[in-house]
Amino acid sequence: MPRLRSSARSSWLGCALAVATVAAAEEPGKWLERMNEALTTRNYDGTFSHWQGGKVEMLRIIHRVQDGAVAERLVSLDGSGREFVRTGSDLACYLPDKRTVLVERRPAEESLFGGFPAMNEETARFYDVKEVARTRLNRRDTHVIAVSPKDEFRYGYRLWIDDSTAMPLKTQLCDGRGHVIEQIVFANLTLSSHIPDSDLKPEVSTEGFQWLRNESLAPKGSPTSASLVWNALKLPPGFKMTARSAQTMPGSTAPVDHLVFTDGFASVSVFVEAQPQAAADQPPVSESARVGSSSAFSTVIDGHKVTAVGEVPPATVRYIANSVKAQGSEPLLDPRHPR
């Protein structure tokens, strides 16, 4: 019996430890949820530096939620004076250096400043989320939360989250070795109950500017090819296809197949379009590119150009693009309504 009790006690202790471990593991995830909520529901006005590739840009973000309507303004404080202003589904880009204003309709729920995906069991398989430190930043107490990838197919994050407001005062995007590849740091941040309309108006005078509007990027229902349905035969662990569509890109009349893959945190889009005959006669080549901290890779498969783009390491977009193949017919889905 003592052995039984001992065994039972061990079992109970094991369960208790497991519960404690889960609770401890949830705590950093809770901070991510609080941060996400703060970013999307609070009014704030802040100035931050954006570092990437050895270059720093100062920007100002103003975010207002009023009567359920989100309005945002992102302003470059260096050089060009460019601004993004979003009101509802309209995103206006003011380019004083080009004397042009561009207006595009975007999903209303998008945020220019954004939040962070919620942690769940699925994402926990591929990322470790830990609170690695409590420190002071900008004279504020912060929790430093590290989101570390468990393999080389994704990037990690470090976030300095304000203890009292849950706003991220500093974020870093890190590669698999922990090296910082992109960083945002607030120099000042004000959370207020009211942000006047005047703060959301662009400072630039648009007199004499050219206005260009684009209503596209909405997915079209028609497939690019009646007989070809594209899919990735192999994916990095944890990635799943969550959307598929055909859409027409601005400035083009030919529809492009758009596949979206995600592991819950990171996402990769794959675009497939038929090659013009002249290009198809050339030997197939592959190319890689960096877009900010995102990666792009393009190759040719079965006479179609396949391009993968995503906020993942270069090897991941290359892996996914190279695994894309045409398969049997399948109904197309709207990417904005994942299966």
Partner 1 sequence: MNEELDSQLSAMFDDELPSAECELLARRLSRDEPLKARWGRYAVIGAAVRAERGVRLNARLAGRVSAVLSTEPALAGTAMAQRSGPFAKWWQPVIGAAMAAGVAAAAVLWLRSQVLPEPGPLITQAGAPATAAASPASTAEPDSYVVPQTPERRVVVPSTELANYVVAHSEFSSPVARRNLLSAFMASESGTAGTPAGSDEPVEDAQDNAKTTQ
CB atoms within 10 A of CB 54: 5
For residue 71, which of 62, 79, 80 has the smallest C-alpha distance?
Answer: 62
Nearest distance from residue 252's CB to partner 1, in Å? 8
- Nearest distance in Å: CB 268, partner 1: 8
Site track for partner 1 across 63-102, x = CB under 8 A: -----------x-x-xxx-x-x------x-x-x-xx-x-x
Query: Using the rule CB under 8 A, is 133 a contact of partner 1?
Result: no
Looking at beta carbons only, is 184 or 332 nearer to partner 1? 184
DSSP 239: -
For β-strands 210-214 and 100-105, DSSP reports them as: parallel
Q: How far is the CB of 297 from partner 1 (least distance, A)?
A: 9
Check residue 216 for interaction with partner 1 (CB under 8 A): yes
Structure tokens at 149: 């990838």
Structure tokens given for 78: 């260096």
Question: How many other CB atoms are found less than 10 A from the CB of residue 140?
Answer: 17
Is the CB of 20 or the CB of 210 nearer to partner 1? 210
Please identify, among the stretches 9-17, 22-30, 233-241, 314-322, the one whose residues bind partner 1 according to the rule CB under 8 A.
Answer: 314-322
φ, ψ at 5 (rounded to 5°): -65, -40
Residue 18 within binding range of partner 1, rule CB under 8 A: no
Which position has the token pair 């684009």? Answer: 214
Subset of residues 140 to 159 that bind partner 1, contact rule: CB under 8 A = 140, 157
Least separation in angstroms between CB 19 and partner 1: 30
d(CA 282, CA 303): 10
Identify residue 266 by its one-letter amino acid code: A
Q: Which is nearer to partner 1, 189 or 229 (CB)?
A: 189
Instruction: Return the residues of window 22-41 that contact partner 1 according to CB under 8 A.
Output: 36, 39
Give the other-Cβ count within 10 Å of 196's Cβ. Answer: 9
Closer Cβ to partner 1, 228 or 318, answer by number: 318
Binder among 124, 150, 225, 314 for partner 1 (CB under 8 A): 314
Which of positions 158-197 make contact with partner 1 (CB under 8 A)?
Answer: 162, 164-165, 167, 169-173, 180, 182-192
Q: Looking only at residues 246 through 275 of this chain, which bind partner 1 when binding is defined by CB under 8 A?
A: 247, 249-252, 258, 260, 262, 265-269, 271, 275
Burial label, 160 (beta-carbon count in 10 A; 0-12, 13-18, 19+): buried
Give CA–CA dist 123/147, Å, rounded.
Answer: 10
Q: Which of 292, 303, 327, 330 binds partner 1 (CB under 8 A)?
A: 292
Give residue for tokens 């400043």.
Answer: 113
